[in-house]
Amino acid sequence: MVKTVRITLKNGDVVEKNGPVLLSDLCQEIGKRLFEDSVAAKVNGKLVDLSAIVDSDATVEFVTVKDPDALPVFRHSTAHVTAQAVKRVIPGAKLAIGPAIENGYYYDFHTQGELTLDLLPKIEEEIGKIIRENLFFKRVVMNKEEAIKFFSERNESLKVELIREIPDEALSVYNQGEFWDLCTGPHLPSTGKIKAFKLLNVAGAYWRGNEKNPMLQRLYGTTFPTKQQLDDYLKQLEEAAKRDHRKLGKELDLYSIQDLTGPGLILWHPKGAMIRKIIEDYWRDEHLARGYQLVYTPHIARVDLWKTSGHWDFYQDNMYKPIEVEDQEFMLKPMNCPFHILIYKTHKRSYRELPLRYGEMGTVYRYERSGVLHGLMRVRGFTQDDAHIFCAPEHLEQEIENCVRLALDILRKFGFEEFAITLSTGPFPSKAWEFGKGVSKKELYKKLLGETGDPAGLKEIEALSYDQIVDKFFGHRKNEFAGERNEWEHAEDVLVHVLQKVVVPLGIQPEIDIIGAAFYGPKIDIKVKDAIGREWQCSTIQFDFNLPRRFDVKYVGQDGKEHLATMVHRAMLGSFERFFGCLIEHYGGAFPFWLAPVQVRILPIGEKHLEYAKQVESELKKSGYRIEIDYQNEKIGAKIRDAQLEKIPYMLVVGDKEMESKSVSVRERKQGDLGTMALEQFLSTLPNH
RNA sequence: GCCGGGAUAGCUCAGUGGUAGAGCAGCUCACUCGUAAUGAGCAGGUCAGGGGUUCAAGUCCCCUUCCCGGCUCCA
């Protein structure tokens, strides 16, 4: 008997068929136009090939080129075509993996180093050929054994390694022309559907992301359904490059990094330093207003301090070698916390004093591997806007809430509106694990064992609880975490509660990073995006169950007994260096009026207007504005151009006309000429500094 | 640290094994000017550093330093 299949379409129509339905047939039946535009389908919400067959009742939605869901399909298919082209150009290249990523795709290959930049045009040409060949993407299901044999014969040892670790017996392989790849799909119907692609870059990448594994060559590319979209994207990349803080930092004379001082060490030039000073002033005022006290601590300390804190044992790889002075060893500080603890411990503390909040703009030095340094964003010497809160457990929630609010207030003050917030937990399952999108057991398993985990485990874990999974696969490392289980659970509950109260109502969905916490406590991180979409961590709020024990940080409670203090580390901007880098990119160098190192520049038309220019200058200086006069022997057009390129918010042109009427001709950097007005009028239009 | 690509005047960049270039910036002079570049002249180089090949090296090879794109790691 033939079974009737009822298919519910996106618009609610129901189609009944006798027997299994080939989606591409159904699509064609609905409309020629739809068929031409479709690249895949969603069956009960799951993305599948158009060549898939539906044999039971289902809802079906066709994914057209305009659908955002089509993009990953385009990219993944183009990755396959790219791999095919690479194999044609470098027959010895072994396939690794090739996923779609945020703005494109990559494919990793193991080669003898043949894959280099100058081959890109040739590979692109080959991709073009494959597209014109319009090869069909065919899905073939093999069992594990067949697949291993198949890829072994084709000398694809990396693929064989992957297959061996897939728990399922049946797996899918995709084929177009002479090219075969292990893949779950879905794919475009054929290579001819690819309309616009570009290879962007080659870079090294470790096999399976592990630096002990061999290095592969990663080919980055991107693709879009239309040429226009690709061009727009490439244009966007160019625009982003113009906002790069390293380029602007040089052009605007904000900072430099020089060979003679060394990599990752920042020289703040006067204009950059002025901006930093403004940020610092704001930071100090804000913190004093919110109950913080300021402290200052030295840059070096006896090695004994770092032995007590545990940095000697656990952080040495990031610290510079000891400095010997009169037979004693000192070390440059990588963190400020031990000093703040020492200040706390100069008295016996009462519960009445708590919470104590010590803030410091503390300059720290950390060894960073040379390859990771990046302008202002990743450096070796930096100043944290650090603070440590010492409190009793009952203060925690209020303190954390205050921290999160302060962080958001500060970041918003600087114009950031988009945040990515991450909650990193310890190894003890808590409410946090279920918070937000939650964590699947599979994710947890991968997190614990990495991609190289025993595949058998994947099946087994579904029957286990979080706790059992952690104990089974991570139990041996649990004792590396400081503090008691109940402390972790309580702290994570507090963090979740605060996020629910403060962050979720803003429409921000925090990410959960299971066991992403440092060994000493769970944390909340807030990131902002840079010009090209890279996320940089600014704020961080971290519990510490370790240092209070190591330094015996206590307070006397109402009960007259000593209790272990709870300690929170927190930085709002993160570091002045990184935050400055983010600011430069965020504003593209055109800092808002209150941050601009020069707020107003006076441009005299000629020499005879200098005297008046000076009058205007002193008048404005009385109001505390940052102002300067352009003394160049140049035409007004040139002076305007210079001020414009330096992105100075206001230019005041003064000539005969202004001198006579005691006025200024105002030009704003974006709006242009605003006309002539009395000085007082100009002053009244200025934003507060 | 690893893979790949780089480093030429203060900046941005040309440069084919055969005499080191341009524009901008700087300095000097002239011009005294009305909303994005006035003109002329001058000066500016251990071609990142070191070694090698060659009759001859900015150019080819090796090492070191630093930078860029990723990977890994992180504020």
**Least reliable range by pLDDT among A206-210, A268-272, A382-386, A673-677:** A206-210
Q: Are strands A566-575 and A535-544 parallel, antiparallel or unpaired?
A: antiparallel
Has A523 been annotated as catalytic? yes
Mean pLDDT over A628-646 rounds to 95
Mean pLDDT over A224-235 rounds to 92
How far: A625 CA to B33 C1' (Å)?
Answer: 28
Provide the greatest CA pair distance for chain A.
102
Question: What CA–CA distance (Å, rounded) separates A478 from A474?
Answer: 7
Q: Identify the bridge partners of residue A385 per DSSP, sorted by sequence position.
A: A361
Mean pLDDT over A255-277 rounds to 95
How far: A3 CA to B51 C1' (Å)?
Answer: 81
Reported as a single tens digit per residue, the pLDDT across A374-419 is: 999 999 999 999 999 999 999 999 999 999 999 999 999 999 888 8
Backbone φ and ψ for A380, nearest 5 degrees, come out as -105, -20
Q: What residues does CATH 3.40.50.800 cover in chain A? A: 600-685
Cα pseudo-dihedral A454, A455, A456, A462, rounded to 10: 110
Mean pLDDT over A36-50 rounds to 90
Reported as a single tens digit per residue, the pLDDT across A565-575 is: 999 999 999 99
Has A476 been annotated as catalytic? no
User: Which ipTM value was assigned to this complex?
Assistant: 0.95
Q: What residues does CATH 3.10.20.30 cover in chain A? A: 4-64
pLDDT of A689: 57
Mean pLDDT of chain A: 91
The model's pTM:
0.93
Question: What CA–CA distance (Å, rounded) separates A412 from A367?
Answer: 31
Nearest residue to B36 (CA, C1')? Answer: A641
pLDDT of A296: 97
Q: What percent of chain A has pLDDT over 70?
A: 97
Which of the residues A49, A176, A218, A337 is marked catalytic? Answer: A337
Which of the residues A357, A569, A647, A667 is marked catalytic? Answer: A569
A4-64 is a CATH 2.160.10.10 domain: no
Q: Is the pLDDT of residue A550 over 50?
A: yes
**Least reliable range by pLDDT among A112-116, A261-265, A359-363, A509-513:** A112-116
Per the document, the length of chain A is: 689
pLDDT of A655: 95
Question: Which nucleotide comes closest to A532 if you measure CA to C1'?
Answer: B69
Question: Which nucleotide comes closest to A217 if you measure CA to C1'?
Answer: B3
pLDDT of A24: 87
Do the Cβ atoms of A8 and A14 come closer than 8 Å?
A: yes
Q: What residues does CATH 3.30.980.10 cover in chain A? A: 71-243
pLDDT of A649: 97
Q: Which residues contact A221 (CB under 8 A, 6 or more apart)?
A: A78, A79, A82, A104, A105, A106, A107, A197, A198, A199, A200
Question: Which nucleotide comes closest to A377 if you measure CA to C1'?
Answer: B75
Has A337 been annotated as catalytic? yes
Which of the residues A366, A578, A609, A639 is marked catalytic? Answer: A366
pLDDT range class, residue A452, cuts 50, 70, 90: very low
Has A384 been annotated as catalytic? yes
Do the Cβ atoms of A664 and A651 come closer than 8 Å?
A: no
Mean pLDDT over A224-249 rounds to 91
Mean pLDDT over A239-243 rounds to 88
Q: Are strands A420-424 and A511-513 parallel, antiparallel or unpaired?
A: parallel
Nearest residue to B39 (CA, C1')? Answer: A634
Q: pLDDT higher for A532 or A130?
A: A130
Reported as a single tens digit per residue, the pLDDT across A140-197 is: 999 999 999 999 999 999 999 999 888 778 889 999 999 999 998 899 999 999 999 9
Q: Are strands A328-332 and A4-9 parallel, antiparallel or unpaired?
A: unpaired
How far: A492 CA to B44 C1' (Å)?
Answer: 63
Has A569 been annotated as catalytic? yes
CATH T-level topology, domain A600-685? Rossmann fold (3.40.50)
CA-to-CA separations, A610 to A126, A330, A485, A623, A625, in angstroms, rounded: 66, 56, 72, 20, 19
Q: Are strands A650-654 and A600-604 parallel, antiparallel or unpaired?
A: parallel
Burial class (CB in 10 A: 0-12, 13-18, 19+), A83: buried
Question: What CA–CA distance (Å, rounded) separates A163 from A271?
Answer: 57
Mean pLDDT over A523-535 rounds to 79
Question: Which nucleotide comes closest to A672 if you measure CA to C1'?
Answer: B35
CATH homologous superfamily for A71-243? Threonyl-trna Synthetase; Chain A, domain 2 (3.30.980.10)
CA A295 to chain centre: 31
Q: Is the pLDDT of residue A291 over 70?
A: yes
Bases on strand B under 7 Å from any protein CB: 1-5, 11-12, 30-38, 65-75
Q: pLDDT higher for A264 or A473?
A: A264
Which of the residues A187, A357, A388, A578 is marked catalytic? Answer: A388
Residue A374 CB neighbour total at 10 angstroms: 16
Residue A197 CB neighbour total at 10 angstroms: 24
Q: Identify the bridge partners of residue A528 per DSSP, sorted by sequence position.
A: A536
Q: Is the pLDDT of residue A456 over 70?
A: no
Mean pLDDT over A607-631 rounds to 94
Q: What percent of chain A has pLDDT over 90?
A: 69
Has A669 been annotated as catalytic? no
Q: Is the pLDDT of residue A453 over 70?
A: no
Question: Which nucleotide comes closest to A380 if you measure CA to C1'?
Answer: B75
How far: A228 CA to B71 C1' (Å)?
Answer: 31
